[in-house]
Structures are given as structure tokens and as C-alpha cells.
Amino acid sequence: MAELKEILLPSGATLKVQLSPLIDAKALLSAVLEESKNLKIESQTDIDLGLLKDIVCAGFSSPKIDKALTACMKRALYNDLKIDDKTFEPEDARQDYLIVCFEVAKANLLPFMKSLSAKFGQVVGLLGKDQKSA
């Protein structure tokens, strides 16, 4: 069984997140990448409020991301109970919904990004060398 990471939420509730099976995590990665390819992010663009809004709106309005994230959330615990369709029905639990989504997504997407960020840095370095020699 994968290690549970415990997160104290602003409401006082606890979230315990663990890595989902590869098939579920890959489905989430695929959905996020598909929705992200339409975002206009230029290499010279500073991250501003508008860009953050676009990222959040793309993520939370996507049925594909929602379906994949729901599969991953079934392995998380909210106040030591498995997350299901009724977990966020109570009004006081709804304040935690977006944070729970973010934390579950982060836990399942970051492992894919670890080696990718190192490779991305290498590619950027190579591109920089090519531009200097041109």
C-alpha cells in the first residue's frame, strides 16, 4: 500500500492522499495535458492572475479531468472516510472541495513531472546554445 500523505485543510478537516494506480494517474495526466494544450502560455509571459484563472477554469470545467480526478480521489481519505459522491454534500465540507481536488491532482501528477523537468531544463539549455551560435 502506498504511503498516505496527511494534509490539514483550512476547515480543520484532514485529507490523506496516496498515489493512485498507474492507470488512473495516467488518465489524469492525459486529461490535464489535453485540456492544457489550448492554454496560451508564451515563454516570455509572466504568470499573472489572468493566466492562473485560465488554468483553474480549464481544470475545473473539464469533464475529462473531473472523471479522471474522481477515480484518483477514491483512494483519498477525508476525515478518515473514503471520498465518494456524498463526501462534499454537507455545506461545511464544500469549502474543502477545490483544495482536495488540487492536492489529489498534485500527488498524482508530480511523480510524472520529476524527470520531465530535468529534461526540460536540458532542452532549454540546448536551445539557448543554438541561439547564441546563430
Q: Is the pLDDT of residue 39 over 80?
A: no
Kindly report the pTM of this predicted structure: 0.78
Q: What is residue 62's predicted lDDT score, i.e. its pLDDT?
A: 87
Which domain, by its residues, includes 75? 5-133
Q: Using 50, 70 and 90 to split pLDDT, how confident is the model at 57?
A: confident
In whole angstroms, give the CA distance from residue 29 to residue 90. Answer: 29
Cβ atoms 23, 36 nearer than 8 A: no
Give 63-116 pLDDT, tens digit per residue: 999 999 999 999 999 999 999 999 999 999 999 999 999 999 999 999 988 877
Number of domains, the chain: 1
